[in-house]
Structure 1
Amino acid sequence: MGKFVTSAIVTTLLLLEIFALAARAQLQANFYAKSCPNAEKIVQDYVYKHIPNAPSLAAALIRMHFHDCFVRGCDASVLLNVTSSTGNQTERVAIPNRTLRGFGFIDGVKSLLEAECPGVVSCADVIALVARDSIVATGGPFWNVPIGRRDGVISIASEALAQIPAPTSNFTTLQNDFAAKGLDLKDLVLLSGAHTIGISHCTSFDNRLYNFTGVVGTQDPALDSEYADNLKANKCKFLNSTVKVEMDPGSFRTFDLSYYRLVLKRRGLFQSDAALLTDSRTKSFITQIVEGSLKNFYEEFAASMEKMGRVGVKTGSVGEIRRHCAVVNS
């Protein structure tokens, strides 16, 4: 019996690898060269026109890309309001996604693409391209975005809650969450580097300040006490405050190495940031990044972003090309 089980597992793993290779093969540069040759320029022009006026959106859009890829793969399921099949609550209303921003931005890009090439460019590709171009527009790194994704037709709120890494995650949870998507510890450290830009609500980490052990008044010992006192005295004065805080104070609009330096000083906002120091491997990766050059970090970050952008993609005849990103085609 054991041999049969082992054989079945091996067969399953081989099939998964075959499917993964097929997906990688079907994502390609210049996918829309014939069907919509101006597609990538339309996206880029829109981003370069609007992001300089709202640079904080760059962080929001890369976060959207991350949240999308971690649930059912990079298929724009995070954009759906209601699915045609069930009418159930979608990822968009799940707790991890309630603070997502940029839906209107994606819709703006999509409307231009539909005017140029109706029914050709997927919302999933729009998210991936917009995330990259918005980071570049704010002075961050460029990475390749192979395209050809198709849009999913299923979106379930409970899956988002279960699969998107939470800011309260410990190291084991983070490692498992990333491994489930084919991402390793180096990817975990590099993708966490996106916290170098953007802001967070106090509610994402105020348990570290006021209620860490479940007893009111307890504080997370892994958080630098001086930094914690400053947060309590200024930004996050009250439990459950909705005030926003810079994730990388003094440098939250600049894509740099400051986030990692703060993590090493125990000044990362989230428990998930602090968790990176609890394992020797990830701590070593962080030290190497800080001691290296920004150019090297950009190159490494770009590689992990391209890798994440391939997670669970739908290609070929799977899924659809949504006409409107918030709803499946009728």
Structure 2
Amino acid sequence: MGTSFARSFALLALLCLLLPCHGKGKLSTKFYAKSCSGVATIVRSVMAQAVAKEPRMGASIIRLFFHDCFVNGCDASILLDDTATFTGEKNAGANANSVRGYEVIDAIKTQVEAACNGTVSCADIVALASRDAVNLLGGPTWNVQLGRKDSRTASPSAANANLPGPGSSAASLVSAFAAKGLSARDMTALSGAHTVGRARCLFFRGRIYGEPNINATFAAARQQTCPQSGGDGNLAPFDDQTPDAFDNAYYTNLVAQRGLLHSDQELFNGGPADALVRKYSGNAGMFANDFAKAMVKMGGLMPASGTPTEVRLNCRKVN
């Protein structure tokens, strides 16, 4: 694995030169300054209520943003419901068992439409909501670039192909992020979103019963609620130290071999990412700064030129 990981690092610069990285030309932090100046306040208010009711929802909205942006850009394609004639991304294998929070986006959209009809895209709402989710859980904040449009299409096949899975190797993670113009450092920082949230037993059973690079006490604790057969839907926190606080404990856990998913522990498993993981584990400010920068960068991923877009009136269906 180490050789493959190193090769991926060596190719990263070349990949970014060959790929359209983040196309932020049309985005602006002041995009709605005149047309819907209160949008950020509305999003923050609804998100504050949602997170107060269920802290885990903050992690879910962050994941929703990631899973949207990694499939043909940040275009709210993940929000489209299936119909008799249309198959969207919600029920793709990579999303069906791990993405939630759609009703929170609906609640925000309802209030935004009441204030500024037909003005703010669902994609921008998701971008703002994910920023607030991080901050409301104690993490950093940043200025969100706005001006995205909502796609009229979706791609379940791209969702299955583009989204890294819980069993991903370090090398495949580097390659998947590089394909989106995101560096190995971006990948390592963005993975820190797993400092909050939960995962289903189905996704970490293989690690707690079969992998050598795991803390024995941690594995035994996880086995209590994740038996070798059955209980696939049982949840465990990614970070069992501060499960609902957006901090750098994720990296401290990795150094202690307490990563919940195989793909988590791959970031600290004798490869080039080890040094950065150690830095983040000891420097919360560095992690917060790098995470915020990487979220802005990922938020700049745009759909391909020529993709039909609009500002949806209902995030679940095209106009």
Same fold (TM over 0.5): yes
Instruction: Give yes or no for contact 2:162–2:176 (8 Å, CA) kept in 1.
Output: yes
Query: Could you tell me which amino acid in structure 1 is paired with residue 220 of structure 2?
Result: D
2:121 maps to 122
Query: Could you tell me which amino acid in structure 1 is paired with residue 243 of structure 2?
Result: F
Deviation, structure 1 residue 67: 0.5
Instruction: Give yes or no for contact 2:61–2:126 (8 Å, CA) kept in 1.
Output: yes
1:312 maps to 302
1:87 aligns with 2:85: yes
Moved more, 23-32 or 123-132: 23-32
2:167 maps to 168
1:202 maps to 201
2:311 maps to 321
Give the Cα separation in 2 of the matches to 1:166 and 1:179. 16
Aligned ranges 1:91-102 → 2 under 5 Å: 91-98=89-96, 99-102=98-101
Deviation, structure 1 residue 314: 7.2
2:32 maps to 32
Query: Could you tell me which amino acid in structure 2 is paired with residue 258 of structure 1?
Result: A
2:234 maps to 243
Deviation, structure 1 residue 280: 3.2
1:105 maps to 104
1:93 is paired with a residue of what secondary structure? coil
1:69 maps to 69
Choose 1 or 2 for highest CA Rg: 1
Give the Cα separation in 2 of the matches to 1:125 and 1:108. 14
1:265 aligns with 2:256: yes
Instruction: Give yes or no for contact 2:77–2:153 (8 Å, CA) kept in 1.
Output: yes
Moved more, 192-201 or 131-140: 131-140
Give the Cα separation in 2 of the matches to 1:161 and 1:130. 24
1:8 maps to none
2:272 is paired with a residue of what secondary structure? helix
Instruction: Give yes or no for contact 2:152–2:308 (8 Å, CA) kept in 1.
Output: no
Give the Cα separation in 2 of the matches to 1:78 and 1:280. 33
1:280 aligns with 2:271: yes
Instruction: Give yes or no for contact 2:140–2:288 (8 Å, CA) kept in 1.
Output: yes
Aligned ranges 1:212-223 → 2 under 5 Å: 219-223=210-214
Gaps of 5+ in 2: 1-15
Q: TM-score, normalised by structure 1?
A: 0.86
1:35 is paired with a residue of what secondary structure? coil
Deviations along 1:242-293, whole A, 9 cap, x unmatched?
Answer: 110011003111111111011111110111112112353211110111222x
Query: Could you tell me which amino acid in structure 1 is paired with residue 89 of structure 2?
Result: E
Deviations along 1:42-63, whole A, 9 cap, x unmatched?
Answer: 1112222332222110000000
Instruction: Give yes or no for contact 2:109–2:125 (8 Å, CA) kept in 1.
Output: yes
Gaps of 5+ in 1: 1-12, 211-218
Deviation, structure 1 residue 177: 0.6
Give RMSD over aligned pairs.
Answer: 2.2
